[in-house]
Structure 1
């Protein structure tokens, strides 16, 4: 961490970064430079932003609780099944996203209500939570893509998939995804650095951030934001979308085939009179279990697709329109739009546990024991 060498330099740096400290939301110094001021006044902006913060925090609280329970249930279920590993990784990422979002909301609210913090709320939070949140969203997208792709393989090449998708291989895949999608978020410190700056308005020195204006840092930021912040999540979204469509098509074919086969066999012989028919019934039962897992993945992927579409639009607009960003002339519209689109992630993370509970009998059974909803199962479990 870089420390300012003198109070004079600190004062200059602070003035250059931010001349207004009483209200976090009014980050702009000259209203004439912000065309969006004619759309949203200070009062309207504050009301909308506060509403979004409180709403998002309520949803994030639900996401923290839901994903904590999901992680606990998957730990009790064990990781012998590859799907449990990938779903646990997804729950951990959703939990971390909710925590990062909570950290940002807390700093926003404290600064808005004039609570003196030892750091600049907006700038420091952007580097200690905002950047990580954006890239962790990409991690969630790629884990969802992996889960969807794995189920596609189970449908398309069922005889080979058990050799291709193993618990160890899934664990390694999760580590690779996290390393390639989340870890690059820390490269933001090449472009920005922490400094201690003197705040003349409150007569104290606080932690702030300043941009590194070298040509390499600026070029590096543009390249890695486009690759890691835009291309990666959009590519993952495309994979999830394609795999989900393929899964839905294959599910319909399999369901139609199963109905026709069972109907034909029931018309010929009773299962007890034909051992081959009984064997086929067992195979159908196993495939139905696999089908329930596929349907669960389709539901998870569908919720992800619906919640991620606004983010895709936001990412595209961020690239196409130069001034549509946190520091551009349309920053008010950008901030409001960003908070609206980011609501999709905690909503998706909160709803997943309902899908697990509805579509997975083992998850439902362990969940009931965990929260003591089923006394008889709890007693039986303790006796075992």
Structure 2
């Protein structure tokens, strides 16, 4: 594309009303600086201080997340993939590890010292395709894997005798591949709609590396469809599934707990010990073993952590273009950093959940770190 045409299009006032979020962020990066558009609410100095603090916290969490997810992948690999749950948890750890890598790069671009430096490329727009954009797609993959894990545990309670035939290592592997293709696959389209190139900017008197949109009607229509599917429907639907399954699992765990208390109070110790191997949930007629119950509890904690950490992303999706078009751009930038923070926390704490709630994982991790000296 001709650089002069790009410059003319970017300077058009009417362009703001028709561009997609990715185009808008690109436009904002090419024109007036981020700090000069917002009036009130936050000063330049306040915004810089908040950015430094958030980025520092996020990067520290990302560093710990890199280590913990690598350890988790190694432990699950050593445990083997004969159990379907190990496959899905490994896929989740791989997604979390990828999110940490791209989050580190994207958050580096938010630092004032990096953002305001005279680099030979457009920090904000290049970051979208190489950092935050890809991070967003992988976060959706992690969301759907969490939804799959939660739904699988629900099936274990609803149809315990059939779930072993429905959820096998083979079907779980296929499910992980399909989820990855449906969530990350559309990212490839963004490299068709936008490509990297050198663009000359008269106000800078310099040619810098940037992303340039391809203005073809079919590609623009395809981008709009992908934005709706991947930017709205996919994450909201995954979030709704996780919330629904988590509520169901919590209610069933309460029924199991109530049933056990009633058994303990009405039967002798011998009868109670015999029934423990196959407790029946009150009012449902289904049964799960103690091992399955522990796994359900672990999934509930994982899903609950995901729900809490995913709330900022859902809040950001509620705002329209006017929120980050000018007046509230600094606030929107802070909200984006909080999104990164939530994703980093969600992807870093799983090792704590596994260690405290999964005996095989705990033993495998201790052996890996050589903490059990007697063995």
Query: TM-score w.r.t. structure 1 length?
Result: 0.83
2:85 matches 1:83: yes
- SS of the residue corresponding to residue 304 of structure 2 reads helix
Distance 2:83 2:132 in 1: 34
SS of residue in 1 equivalent to 2:322:
coil
CA contact (8 A) 2:35 2:44 kept: no
Q: Tell me if the contact between 1:11 and 1:198 (Cα under 8 Å) persists in the aligned partners.
A: yes
Matched, 1:177 2:179: yes
How much does 1:322 deviate?
2.6
* Partner Cα separation in structure 2 for residue 132 and residue 336 of structure 1: 19
- SS of equivalent to 2:374: helix
Where do 5+ consecutive residues of structure 2 fail to align? 12-27, 280-286
Q: 1:54 to 1:16 in 2, by over 3 A?
A: farther
State TM-score, norm by structure 2.
0.85
Q: Show the counterpart of 1:324.
A: 323
Q: Which residue of 1 aligns with 2:220?
A: 218
Q: Does 1:334 align with 2:332?
A: yes
Q: CA deviation at 1:290?
A: 1.2
Write out per-residue CA displacement over residues 196-218 of structure 1, whole angstroms, 9 at most, x where no aligned residue.
23467887643211223333333
Aligned to 2:70: 68
Checking the alignment, whether the CA contact within 8 Å between 1:191 and 1:217 is kept in structure 2 is: yes
Question: Which residue in 1 is equivalent to 2:189?
Answer: 187
CA contact (8 A) 2:51 2:110 kept: no
Q: Please tell me whether residue 347 in structure 1 is matched to residue 350 in structure 2.
A: no
Q: Name the residue aligned to 1:253.
A: 255
Q: Which one of the candidate residues 354, 359, 364 is aligned to 1:366?
A: 364
Cα deviation 1:149-194 (Å, max 9, x = unaligned): 0000001110110010000100100000111011112222243221
The answer (yes or no) to whether the contact 2:141–2:183 under 8 Å persists in 1 is: yes
Cα deviation, residue 259, structure 1: 3.1
Q: Secondary structure of the equivalent of 2:161?
A: coil
Post-superposition shift, 1:328?
A: 5.0
Matches of 2:55 and 2:123, distance apart in 1: 15
Q: 1:120 to 1:31 in 2, by over 3 A?
A: closer
Question: 2:32 aligned with 1:29, yes or no?
Answer: yes
1:119 positional shift: 2.6
* Residues 324/193 of structure 1: CA separation in 2 closer, same or farther (3 Å cut): farther
CA spacing shift, 1:28–1:195, aligned 2, 3 Å: closer
Long gaps (5+) in structure 1: 19-24, 272-276, 378-384
RMSD: 2.9
Summarize the Cα distance change of 1:82–1:247 in structure 2 as closer, same or farther, 3 Å threshold: same
**Deviation per residue, 1:29-59 (Å, 9 max, x gap):** 289993x322222222222222222221111
Return the alpha-carbon distance in structure 2 between the equivalents of residues 297 and 238 of structure 1: 16
Q: How many residues align?
A: 352
Instruction: State the SS of the aligned residue for 1:234.
Output: helix
Q: Cα distance 1:313–1:107, how it changes in 2: closer, same or farther (>3 A)?
A: closer
Shifted more, 161-170 versus 50-59: the winner is 50-59
* Structure 2 equivalent of residue 381 of structure 1: none
Per-residue CA deviation, residues 127-146 of structure 1 (Å, 9 max, x unaligned), is: 11221111111111110000
Contact 2:246 2:304 in 1 (8 A): yes
Cα distance between partner residues in 2 of 1:221 and 1:192: 10
Specify the alignment match of 2:43 in structure 1.
41
Q: Within 2, Cα distance between the matches of 1:309 and 1:121?
A: 27
Change (3 A) 1:207 1:346: same
Give the distance between the partners of 2:34 and 2:115, measured in 1 at CA. 22
- Give the 3-state SS of the residue equivalent to 1:323 in structure 2: helix
Larger radius of gyration: 1
**Per the alignment, do residues 32 and 69 of structure 1 end up closer, same or farther by CA in structure 2, a change over 3 Å counting?**
closer
Q: Sort the Cα spacing of 1:323 and 1:289 in 2 relative to 1 into closer, same or farther, 3 A.
A: same
Question: What is the deviation of 1:110?
Answer: 8.6
The answer for the alignment partner of 1:243 in structure 2 is 245
CA pair 305-243 structure 1, distance change in 2 beyond 3 A: same
- Separation in 2, partners of 1:160, 1:278: 25
Alignment of 1:126-141 (within 5 A): 126-141=128-143
Shift, 1:28, TM fit: 5.0
SS of 2:210's partner is strand
Give the Cα separation in 1 of the matches to 2:33 and 2:108.
Answer: 27
